[in-house]
Chains A and B, each alone.
Chain A
Amino acid sequence: MTLTTDAAATPAAETRQPILQARNLVKTYGRVVGLDGVSLDLYPGEVLAIIGDNGAGKSTLIKCLTGAEVADEGEILLDGKPVHFKRPQDAHLAGIETVYQTLAVSPALDVASNLFLGREERRKGILGSVFRMVDKKGMRKKARQQLADLGITTLQDVTVPVENLSGGQRQAVAVARAAAFGSKVVVLDEPTAALGVRESNQVLQLVKNLRDRGIPVILISHNMPHVFEVADRIHIQRLGKCATTITPQSHSMTDAVAIMTGARKA
């Protein structure tokens, strides 16, 4: 793992073409309005944090962006071209990886199987092509490598079923999966919620590393110090709408919380 201290990312991103854009997304659940016309731009090489109170629509927003939900209205553009993600796999194929708040791991499957779930690697030669055998050994080896790269040392045996892991370890598995496969955009919905101090810092470091590799990250978090540490811009979600987008330079944490809770107008 390279220990790059984050080179202050360019805030003047507006001149560049966004990688991922959302235009006026609306999503309702029966009579509940989850998203009420939300737009969002994600530029290359930036960390965009999304903050907001419980129920503000953060998870709904990223679900619509990643194919987990289909928005009722609005459009999504990837590299300026409209995309219609009908299912999570569509977003995977476009290089967008997500850690959902619910983690989306399969409890009975082991760590390695979970890391490669939905994109298992086949064995070489006739065993793979004709007998469709998955390369268990190879995937275990890569899984170990991925976890080591993330600095996750508490998880040594990748053949343990995920249900035997602690909440934080499960989260680490989900984060490792997204980091390993995200080639275009990585989306993290409260990835440090169950993590200890050391593990949280590792995830923050991972976010910075992804950015340094040019992969933009959307990070949802309730932890303001974390947000202000890694974010280039902060999208404040309030009551299903985007209240405003700020930067750690333009606003203080107190300001951000005030806007988030509605104590102050954006």
Chain B
Amino acid sequence: MSQSTQQVPATTGPHDLAEEFLDRTTPLSRLRNVLHRYPALSPAIVLVFAVIVFGLLNERFLNPANLSLITQQVAVVGTLAIAQTLIILTAGIDLSVGAVMVLAMMITAQVTVQTGIPAILGLLLGLVVGLAAGAFNGFLVTKLRLPPFIVTLGTLNIFLALTLLYTAGATVRGGDMPDLLTWSGTTFNIGGVNFTTGVLMMLVLYFVIAFILNNTSWGRHVYAVGDDKEAARLAGIRVNRVLMSVYLAAGAILAIGAWIQIGRSNAASPNASGDLNLDSITAVVIGGTSLFGGRGTVWGTLLGALIVGVFRNGLSLAGLDVLWQTFAVGVLIIVAVSVDQWIRKVRK
């Protein structure tokens, strides 16, 4: 074995030792090892495959207008799924993402419209609401040591109730809001495809969070904490601090999601959360992030969100009942988790 000193990252190396080291007998186990090393690979394959199949089934599918529609449909859930990914990477789960987003959104919209404060202050207020909600979840998880599932099941109900109490169920129309709040819904054209500012905001968030997870100490600590809490603690990581910061970051991302949602629906409705809580988890899971924590990438999550969007859109273009879309998403989830389990059998 040559001991070169200027070794490059393994992705480009001529002989990938990790793969060599692992079982290399059957093609199947080799495939498994590759998928294990690059968790975003399986969703990428599924997405490409789905786009080809739906494109063949219906020529309208690959229409620029239709592709634009898919990205817009994915923007909000895709943003919430970033927050969800961070929390799932720490071996947690957040059932309250949609509820937090709607609470931040309604407070931003109502306060801005009713008091006439500058829109930027309204958005900052939304950010504060998101951070406060995140801090509350984080406090319950770290200080009271409650399981994240239970904590966020509780706060899901609390935040939903607060939203409805505060708004009395009333929707704020986009026309009544300052332009900045609905700016996330404005469109621009790239190469014949229309994008909204909201979609762009989502993509920027993906880049930022992916960069942070890959390149900072904090990012590594998030993975380490999700992987094995006790090992991380013994290695000198302040586990509770990392967890708290993850919940705060999630809260901030959800506040941005609130802004994107206002632009998407050109309104702020207290009932907007709908299936968003669970859909964000769906995107993360289909994106190859392990519910056991410590494994996964935000890019996988983006692919997961796109897969769901593509399936829903493609099936509806094919003229199938909405319920078949739901059915397909259900199948996707179970397949994704089975694949994850299979991949994780590399060792143990």
Contacts and interface: CB of A to CB of B under 8 A. Distances in A.
Interface of A: 68, 87-89, 92, 98, 100, 102-109, 113-114, 117-120, 122, 131-134, 136, 140-141, 144, 156-157, 159-161, 163-164
Interface string B195-220: 00000000000000001000111101
Interface string B261-293: 000000000000000000000000000000000
Contacts of B5: 141
A69 to B, nearest CB: 10
B153 to A, nearest CB: 27
A232 B334 CA distance: 59
A120 B220 contact: yes
B294 A134 contact: no
Contact of A104 (B7, B221, B223, B234): B234
B231 interface: yes
A118 B235 contact: yes
Nearest to B211: A131
Contacts of B234: 68, 88, 98, 100, 102, 104
Interface in B1-36: 1, 3, 5, 7, 9-10, 17-18, 21-22
B143 interface: no
B228 interface: yes
B215 A134 contact: yes
A92 B234 CA distance: 10
B230 interface: yes
A159 B9 contact: yes
A88 B9 contact: no
25 contacts: A88-B234, A98-B234, A103-B231, A104-B234, A106-B232, A106-B294, A107-B227, A107-B294, A108-B223, A109-B227, A117-B224, A118-B236, A132-B216, A134-B215, A134-B216, A134-B217, A134-B220, A140-B7, A157-B10, A157-B18, A157-B21, A159-B10, A160-B18, A161-B18, A164-B347
Most A-side CB within 10 Å, residue of B5, B211, B218, B237: B237
B215 A105 contact: no
Contact of B236 (A88, A106, A144): A88
A105 B231 contact: yes
Contacts of B232: 106, 117-118
A134 B217 CA distance: 6
Contacts, number: 102
A188 to B, nearest CB: 14
A34 B233 CA distance: 21
A106 B227 contact: yes
Contacts of A120: 217, 220
A163 B234 CA distance: 18
Contacts of A159: 9-10, 17-18
A259 B220 CA distance: 46
Given A88-B233, A164-B346, A132 B21 contact: no
Nearest to B347: A163
B1 A156 contact: yes
Contacts of A104: 230-231, 234-235
B278 to A, nearest CB: 26
B10 A132 contact: no
Contact of A156 (B3, B211, B217, B347): B3
B17 A109 contact: no
Contacts of B312: none
A163 B346 CA distance: 9
B236 A92 contact: yes
Contacts of A122: 217
A166 B17 CA distance: 14
A117 B227 CA distance: 13
Interface string B119-141: 00000000000000000000000
B238 interface: yes
B294 A164 contact: no
Contacts of A161: 18, 37
A114 B237 CA distance: 12
B18 A164 contact: yes
A51 B220 CA distance: 36
Contacts of B220: 109, 113, 117, 120, 134
